[in-house]
Amino acid sequence: MTPGAENAHMAETDATEAPDAYEALLDHYERIATLESAGNVLSWDQQVTMPDAGTPARSRQMSTLSGLGHELLTEADVSGWLDDLDGADLSGGRAASVREIRREHRRADRVPQDLIEEISGKSSEALPVWEEAKAEDDFDAFAPKLEELLELKREYAEHVDPDRDPYAVLFEDYEPYLDIGTAERILERLREELVPLIDDLKAADPDLADPFDGTYPEDAQEAVSREILDGLGYDWDRGRLDTSSHPFTSGNQFDCRITTRFRESDPLDALTATIHEFGHAQYTLGLPQDAFGTPLGQDRDLVVHESQSRFWENHVGRTGAFWEWALPAVREQFDGLADASAREMYEAANRIYPENLIRVEADELTYHMHIILRFEIERDLVRGDLDVADVPDVWNEKMEEYLGVRPDTDAEGCLQDIHWSHGAFGYFPTYTLGSVLAAQLDHHVRTDLDVDDLVREGEFDPIREWMGEQIHRHGCRYTTPELIEEATGEAFTADYFVEYASEKFGELYGV
Amino acid sequence: MTPGAENAHMAETDATEAPDAYEALLDHYERIATLESAGNVLSWDQQVTMPDAGTPARSRQMSTLSGLGHELLTEADVSGWLDDLDGADLSGGRAASVREIRREHRRADRVPQDLIEEISGKSSEALPVWEEAKAEDDFDAFAPKLEELLELKREYAEHVDPDRDPYAVLFEDYEPYLDIGTAERILERLREELVPLIDDLKAADPDLADPFDGTYPEDAQEAVSREILDGLGYDWDRGRLDTSSHPFTSGNQFDCRITTRFRESDPLDALTATIHEFGHAQYTLGLPQDAFGTPLGQDRDLVVHESQSRFWENHVGRTGAFWEWALPAVREQFDGLADASAREMYEAANRIYPENLIRVEADELTYHMHIILRFEIERDLVRGDLDVADVPDVWNEKMEEYLGVRPDTDAEGCLQDIHWSHGAFGYFPTYTLGSVLAAQLDHHVRTDLDVDDLVREGEFDPIREWMGEQIHRHGCRYTTPELIEEATGEAFTADYFVEYASEKFGELYGV
């Protein structure tokens, strides 16, 4: 047999065998994805309901699940099926599924399973250590865990691609299709634009209202959160609202749960967190149910996810129209607000606090300086350009440089976020990129719908449906740039965010 | 090489290689057991916290986990390691671990994985169907699910051993070492003894007190449950108390959770359920932590488990001494009981209700007639001697025959229990066998300790420690008959239960 004849035979075999390989690959992948979704339940439970002393067993459970998932993803059969499907003539949806599985397989295949299990186990161990270190303001207690996780994640990146910047490699775990170059360009653009804008706003001295100056019991705050979620259209048959130290959303298209937290003196904090997490949950609940366990039933990535939470939090929840709608609920549950107007609440919800130290309590605008700071620190940590021991000092210096304020404690500084205790390096930039995308989507949904009118009337269905149609239902059918192009007809851009921020805060602060 | 020389060589190889095979087998088994413990978290969540519409994803998650566990247990390597360890000279603990893993492996190896996954998936599907059928009193709605599960479990038993009674085979999943013959003998002995005893008690007309004739708000009942659990020594760092439609206990030695339920008119129901589940949790929490994921860190079986729950429920919680201790807490939380005495509460907690229809609300004595009825029905269903469609009639006839009462609805009859919706056939007898073992253990703990004095003083530590020492810490080191022999110095016997029941209820009813 000549080489040419052999190739011809192989091509013929591919054409007839590819569908079988596709079915086998997808069946196999469904087990992996389902295992991962089971792990999400364990993680939710760990953060919401698990008793304190349950950690040792939970760590073992989580690392067993992630280890098995890794083994399944790297089985020789998977390479075989992917080889069979190489160049196969598949429909758009099938081609997308194969693209996503191939990408996941390649990354996993390069990383030894032992390392994956070790990272998962160390992350579970680190979580309660971080919680206690934060409670005790004791960075030294957390530092060894952080160092271990950094070392393991560097090792991970080295396995994926020893020739590339390890931070760029880690970033792709959260945002696979917008490269780190794009991320850096957008973060730099924002820094250039926002620092002078924030300076202008600080210099202005508007007389902004702040009617939320009392204390608001947890049960009243929870009642408001539930009423707002009802109004926005959260599907309680597929969700729950609980509390946790850091608000988060977890689940799948059948069961997607929100957490928030309540601070007596700051009812806007809980409300904002609730609406933010609603946006995440709405995305997950909008994924097609019949594609559960396949790439077409999975969220695109963290940037797109964050665009959904930020859209609802900022472009709906921080508008004047929103406060007109929410006014009766807020007045009913909270004492002392009978005379407060929607405009006053709008002003309170949108005033900026450059002196604030806590990212998750930051206003919409200065928030991004918190992200830029974290991005720079974690990038330098991963690259080995910064020692763990120096994190508190560098953190505090950057806070002073960007926002003119210096934390007194590490609990209010470099210990405030949960992410690094998960070994999540490269995650933070997705928050700002998500906000940028939210502004771009907001521009386009407002081209199609009168969003302010709808919000004012509490008619959120058309807005939810627009996002469902443009974003949610596609799962991973498109890459991120393709999805943005599909939804908006243009490439990813920071223009709308810059324009939106300048106009909104310019009006509010009279600059 | 002569055969003799070859054997000598093999023996030598075994002696040196067996430890490696043991380590490999145990490492592998730990993954299986850890996967199973992860599945328990999913199951707890499904019954306690999961939103209603989450079932499709949860079913997939559960069947994926159980399928993977089955695959791991039946891998060729496992057979190889077990063969290597056949006849190896192992310590008692190691030999016990190998015995348990060998038994599990053999059973699993004979059952196709597809069938295991199907049973798991159908069980998850059946649960909400049963819940709704019970709520709607609609047996026909549940019947097809029951039929499917019976068919699948018959198929399962056939794979394990086609030559044996399928019910005997299924029973061994819950109680592997006391055979069905022992179970039947004990149930028959109890029926012979208890039916005339119950008749005598019914004929007697004592003036028993019943001070719990008011309504008791859920929060007061919960406060009592929590206070009693505090006093008994439940470790809240490793546990929680929640509510579910059927009380249950789930977890491991790091995290073992109780559920109960509250009925306004019957505070004894919740309290009894709470103490019962405390006994289960106490066993699980008493398993050695360093043996998590191995047979030595696992509970022996359901009979031993039930002996622990029944010991605390009946031999502690239904004693006069217990009510002397609990009196202040109950008086404080419940209105209208200021004048009630401990003796009156003792009488209320121990009066029998032969007319009661609900197993989990049954008194300590007539309870066993409920079990005998279920045992006979499920045995006949599994053997194919009874049609699913005839279950309601047969149930009602047996209730009339054994307890002189006939349910008006199937919700109060054959739909009342969760077990069959799990495909758990062969489970029910373990309740009564557990009670019988509880009485035997109670006799022996009272030989060593003055239990009544300790209970009266709220000093539960020595009692918990006795059970921990005799039962909990051993995990699966011994078979059930060995464990009973170790703890009591004698074989399993119903004598103590019969004696205890006759004396206690004889005194109470004056017969």
In this structure, of A1-5, A78-82, B27-31, B256-260, the range with the lowest mean pLDDT score is A1-5
Best CA proximity match to A366, nearest among A200, A245, A134: A200
**CB A49 to CB B50 under 8 A?**
no
Best CA proximity match to B324, nearest among B300, B299, B348, B341: B341
Contacts A–B by Cβ distance under 8 A? 112
Shortest Cα–Cα distance, B289 to chain A (Å): 9
Average pLDDT, chain B: 93
* A136 has a pLDDT exceeding 80: yes
Residues of B with a Cβ under 8 Å from any A Cβ are 30-31, 34-35, 37-38, 41-42, 45, 49-58, 60-61, 64-65, 67-68, 235-240, 251-255, 257, 289, 292-293
**CB A237 to CB B61 under 8 A?**
no
For B290-308, write each residue's pLDDT tens digit: 999 999 999 999 999 999 9
* A117 has a pLDDT exceeding 90: no
Which residues of chain B lie closer than 8 angstroms to A57, CB-CB?
A: 34, 37, 252-255, 292
d(CA B139, CA B16) in angstroms, rounded, equals 60
Strand B255-260 relative to strand B249-252: parallel, antiparallel, unpaired?
antiparallel
For A410-438, write each residue's pLDDT tens digit: 999 999 999 999 899 999 999 999 999 99
Asked if B53 and A255 count as a contact pair (C-beta separation under 8 A), the reply is yes
> Given B35, B55, B240, which is nearest A49 (Cβ)?
B240
Looking at residue B243, what DSSP letter applies?
E
Which residues of chain B lie closer than 8 angstroms to A54, CB-CB?
A: 238, 251, 254-255
Which residues of chain B lie closer than 8 angstroms to A292, CB-CB?
A: 56-57, 60
Nearest-CA residue of chain A relative to B60? A34
Round the CA-based radius of gyration of chain B to a whole number and report it.
24
Q: What are phi and psi of A260, to 5 degrees?
A: -140, -170
d(CA B466, CA B463) in angstroms, rounded, equals 5
Sign of the Cα pseudo-torsion (B376, B380, B383, B389, in order): negative
* B18 has a pLDDT exceeding 80: no
| 3-class DSSP string for B45-68 | HHHHCCCHHHHHHHHHHHHHHHHH
Which residues of chain B lie closer than 8 angstroms to A288, CB-CB?
A: none
- The residue assigned the tokens 């029941």 is B501
**CB A237 to CB B42 under 8 A?**
no
| Residues of A annotated as part of the active site | 277
Query: What's the ipTM?
Result: 0.89
d(CA B28, CA B79) in angstroms, rounded, equals 12
At A228, the pLDDT band (50, 70, 90 cuts) reads very high
Nearest-CA residue of chain B relative to A72? B68
* B147 has a pLDDT exceeding 60: yes
Most distant CA pair in chain B: distance in Å? Answer: 89
Q: What are residue B259's DSSP bridge partners?
A: B242
> Given B50, B236, B253, which is nearest A255 (Cβ)?
B50
Shortest Cα–Cα distance, A291 to chain B (Å): 11
Q: What are residue B251's DSSP bridge partners?
A: B256
Residue of A68, A73, A234 for testing the chain B interface, max B β-carbons within 10 Å: A68
* A8 has a pLDDT exceeding 80: no
Residue of A41, A58, A298 for testing the chain B interface, max B β-carbons within 10 Å: A41
Residues B383-414: b if buried by 16+ CB within 10 A, e if exposed: eeebebeebbebbbebbeebbeeebeebbbbb
Nearest-CA residue of chain A relative to B32? A64
**CB A64 to CB B257 under 8 A?**
no
Which residues of chain A lie closer than 8 angstroms to B68, CB-CB?
A: 31, 35, 68
Residues 6+ apart with CB under 8 A from A260: A225, A241, A243, A247, A270, A273, A274, A277
Catalytic residue among B104, B175, B277, B344: B277
* Per-residue model confidence (pLDDT) at position A377: 97
- The residue assigned the tokens 């011994």 is B478
CA atoms within 13 A on the CB side of A300: 25
CB atoms within 10 A of CB B425: 27
* Per-residue model confidence (pLDDT) at position B8: 37
- The residue assigned the tokens 């009981």 is B337
d(CA A86, CA A95) in angstroms, rounded, equals 10
Helical residues (DSSP H) of A86-179, grouped into ranges: 92-110, 113-136, 139-160, 166-174
* B6 has a pLDDT exceeding 60: no
d(CA B487, CA B60) in angstroms, rounded, equals 42
Residue of B124, B125, B254, B284 for testing the chain A interface, max A β-carbons within 10 Å: B254
Residues 6+ apart with CB under 8 A from B116: B66, B67, B70, B108
For A143-156, write each residue's pLDDT tens digit: 999 999 999 999 99
* Per-residue model confidence (pLDDT) at position A401: 87
Vertex A180 angle, CA A175 and A183, to 5° = 85
d(CA A86, CA A393) in angstroms, rounded, equals 51
Residues 6+ apart with CB under 8 A from B159: B110, B111, B112, B115
pTM of this structure: 0.89
* Per-residue model confidence (pLDDT) at position B11: 38
Asked if A312 and A282 count as a contact pair (C-beta separation under 8 A), the reply is yes
Shortest Cα–Cα distance, B172 to chain A (Å): 27
**CB B61 to CB A41 under 8 A?**
yes
Sign of the Cα pseudo-torsion (A383, A385, A387, A392, in order): negative
Which residues of chain B lie closer than 8 angstroms to A293, CB-CB?
A: 60
Residue of B64, B77, B234 for testing the chain A interface, max A β-carbons within 10 Å: B64
Asked if A246 and A418 count as a contact pair (C-beta separation under 8 A), the reply is yes
Residue of B58, B60, B240, B289 for testing the chain A interface, max A β-carbons within 10 Å: B60
Average pLDDT, chain A: 93
**SS3 at position B491:** coil
> Given B51, B254, B293, which is nearest A54 (Cβ)?
B254
**SS3 at position B366:** coil
Which residues of chain A lie closer than 8 angstroms to B41, CB-CB?
A: 41-42, 45, 61
* Per-residue model confidence (pLDDT) at position A197: 93
Shortest Cα–Cα distance, A204 to chain B (Å): 48
Average pLDDT over residues A158-173: 96
Nearest-CA residue of chain A relative to B66? A35
Nearest-CA residue of chain B relative to A291? B57
- The residue assigned the tokens 């047979």 is B295
- Chain centroid, CA A24 distance in Å: 31
For B457-499, write each residue's pLDDT tens digit: 999 999 999 999 999 999 999 999 999 999 999 999 999 999 9
Shortest Cα–Cα distance, B300 to chain A (Å): 19
**CB A240 to CB B38 under 8 A?**
no
> Given B42, B56, B238, which is nearest A51 (Cβ)?
B238
Q: The sheet that has A255-260: what strands, in order across it?
A: A241-243, A255-260, A249-252
Which residues of chain A lie closer than 8 angstroms to B27, CB-CB?
A: none
Tokens representing B232 are: 């008994």
At A18, the pLDDT band (50, 70, 90 cuts) reads low
Shortest Cα–Cα distance, A99 to chain B (Å): 24
d(CA A140, CA A134) in angstroms, rounded, equals 11
d(CA B43, CA B246) in angstroms, rounded, equals 13
Shortest Cα–Cα distance, B229 to chain A (Å): 15
The percent of residues above 70 in pLDDT, for chain B, comes to 96
For A30-44, write each residue's pLDDT tens digit: 999 999 999 999 999
At A5, the pLDDT band (50, 70, 90 cuts) reads very low
Residues of A with a Cβ under 8 Å from any B Cβ are 30-31, 34-35, 37-38, 41-42, 45, 49-58, 60-61, 64-65, 67-68, 235-240, 251-255, 257, 289, 292-293
